[in-house]
Chain A
Amino acid sequence: MITLENVSYAYPRADREAVSEITLTLRRGECVLVTGHSGSGKTTLCLAAAGILEHEYGGKKTGRVTVDGKDVREYHDLTDISTRVGILFDDPDSQLLFTTVEEEVLSAIERRGFSVAEVEERLAQVLAVTGLEELKDRPPHALSGGQKQRVVLATTLALGTDILILDEPTSELDEQGTESIVRLLEEFKAQGKAILIVEQKFTKLASLVDRIVVLENGRIRNEGPPATVLQDEIARRTLIPDFSGIRTRSPAVNGSAPMVCTRGLTFSYGEEEALSGVDLSIAQGEFVAIVGENGSGKTTLVKHFIGLLRPNKGTVTVDGKDAAKAPIAELAHSVGLVFQNPDHMFFADSVFDEVAFGVDNLGIPGREQAVMDALATVRLTAARDLYPRWLSRGERQRLAIACVLAMQPAVLILDEPTTGLDGSESREILEILKQLQEKGHTIIMITHSREIAGQCADRVIHMEAGRIADDVRAEAAHG
Chain B
Amino acid sequence: MAEILQYIPGDGIFHRLHPVTKILFIIIVSVVTILTSSISLLAGLLLLIFLLAYAGHLLRPVIQQMVLILLMSIVIYLITILTVQDGAVIGYLIPSFIPLIGGSIPITIGALTVGTVLTLRFAILISAFQLFVISTQPRDLVHTMERARVPVDYTLMFIIALRFIPTLQIEGKRIHEAQLARGYHSGDGFMGRIRSVAPVMVPLVSNSLSRATLLGLTIDLRGYRTRARTRLRERTFGIADKVAIPLMCLAGIAFLYGFLTSSLL
**Would you call B7 an interface residue if the criterion is a C-beta within 8 Å of the partner chain's C-beta atoms?**
yes
- The complex places the Cα of A89 from the Cα of B222 at a distance, in Å, of 13
Flag if A332 contacts B163 (CB, 8 Å).
no
Across the interface, do A56 and B230 meet the contact criterion of CB distance under 8 Å?
A: no
- Across the interface, which residues of B come within 8 angstroms of A77, CB to CB? 220, 226
Contact of B184 among A114, A155, A361 (CB under 8 A): A361
State whether A344 touches B217 (Cβ < 8 A): no
Instruction: Tally A residues with Cβ within 8 Å of B.
Output: 64
Q: Which residues of B contact A94 (CB under 8 A)?
A: 211-215, 218
Q: Does A389 contact B (CB under 8 A)?
A: yes
CB of B227 within 8 A of CB of A112, answer: yes
Q: Is A87 an interface residue (CB 8 A)?
A: yes
Is residue A99 within 8 Å, beta carbon to beta carbon, of the partner chain?
A: yes
- Tell me if A407 and B232 are in contact (CB < 8 A): no
CB of B219 closer than 8 Å to a CB of A: yes
Q: Which residues of A contact B185 (CB under 8 A)?
A: 327-329, 361
B221 touches A78 (CB 8 A): yes
Q: Would you call A110 and B218 a contact (CB within 8 A)?
A: no
| Contact size range, B | 35 or more
B206 CB within 8 Å of chain A? yes
A413 and chain B: residue at smallest CB distance: B181
Q: Is the CB of A97 within 8 A of B219?
A: yes
A119–B232 touching, CB < 8 Å: yes
B138 CB–A CB distance under 8 Å: yes
Q: With A and B bound together, what is the CA distance between A403 and B178 in angstroms?
A: 11
Are B163 and A99 in contact, CB atoms less than 8 angstroms apart?
A: yes
Q: A358 to B211: give the CA distance in the assembly, Å.
A: 27
Shortest Cβ distance from B217 into chain A, in angstroms?
6
Query: Shortest Cβ distance from B152 into chain A, in angstroms?
Result: 10
Contact yes or no, B218 A97, CB < 8 A: yes
Judge whether B147 is part of the interface by a CB distance below 8 angstroms.
no
Q: Which residues of B contact A357 (CB under 8 A)?
A: 182, 184, 199
Q: Are B203 and A345 in contact (CB under 8 A)?
A: yes
Interface presence of A100 (CB below 8 A): yes
A56, A98, A329: the one contacting B163 at CB < 8 Å is A98
Q: Which of A111, A336, A337, A346 contacts B222 (CB 8 A)?
A: A111
Q: Which of A115, A328, A404 contacts B230 (CB 8 A)?
A: A115
Of B160, B179, B225, B229, the contact of A345 (CB 8 Å cutoff): B179
Distance in angstroms between the alpha carbons of A458 and B116 in the assembled complex: 65
B235 at the interface (CB under 8 A from A): no
Q: For residue B227, which residues in chain A have a CB less than 8 angstroms away from its CB?
A: 79, 111-113
* Cβ contact within 8 Å between B166 and A112: no
Decide: A99 and B230 in contact? CB cutoff 8 A. Answer: no
CA A109 to CA B224, docked complex, whole Å: 10
Interface string of A295-308 (1 = CB under 8 A from B): 00000000100101
B167 within 8 A of A: yes
Name the interface residues of A316-366: CB closer than 8 Å to any CB of B.
327-329, 332-333, 335-337, 339, 341, 343-347, 357-358, 361-362
A52 within 8 A of B: yes
Q: B224 contacts which chain A residues (CB < 8 A)?
A: 107, 111
Chain B residues near A139: list those with CB within 8 A. Answer: 6-7, 166
A469 close to chain B: CB less than 8 A? no
Given contacts A99-B138, A113-B227, whether A79 and B181 have CB atoms under 8 Å apart is: no
Q: What A residues does B183 contact at CB under 8 A?
A: 328-329, 332-333, 358, 361-362, 407
Check B217–A93 contact: CB distance below 8 A. Answer: no
> B54-113: which have CB < 8 Å to A?
none
Contact with B along A394-409 (1 / 0, CB 8 A): 0000000001100100
> Interface 1/0s, chain A 150-192, versus B by CB < 8 A?
0000010000000000000000000000000000000000000
Contact B217 A336 (CB under 8 A): no
Please tell me if A116 contacts chain B, counting CB pairs below 8 Å.
yes
CA of A116 to CA of B229 in the docked complex: distance in angstroms? 10
CB <8 Å contact, A343 and B206: yes
In the bound assembly, the distance between CA atoms of A333 and B199 in angstroms comes to 19
Within 8 A of A (CB), among B191-245: 198-203, 206-207, 211-232
**Residue A141 is within 8 A (CB to CB) of chain B in the complex:** yes
Task: Please list the 7 inter-chain residue pairs (A to B) with the smallest Cβ-Cβ separation, ordered nearest first.
Answer: A347-B202, A94-B214, A361-B183, A111-B227, A111-B223, A332-B183, A358-B182
Q: What is A's interface to B at a CB cutoff of 8 Å?
A: 52, 56, 77-79, 81-82, 87, 89, 91, 93-100, 103, 106-116, 118-120, 137, 139, 141-142, 155, 303, 306, 308, 327-329, 332-333, 335-337, 339, 341, 343-347, 357-358, 361-362, 389, 403-404, 407
9 pairs, CB–CB < 8 Å, chain A vs chain B: A77-B220, A82-B223, A111-B224, A329-B184, A335-B181, A346-B203, A347-B199, A347-B202, A361-B182
List 11 additional contacts besides A97-B160, A113-B228, A139-B6; criterion CB under 8 Å.
A56-B217, A77-B220, A81-B221, A89-B217, A97-B215, A97-B219, A141-B170, A308-B177, A332-B182, A344-B171, A344-B175
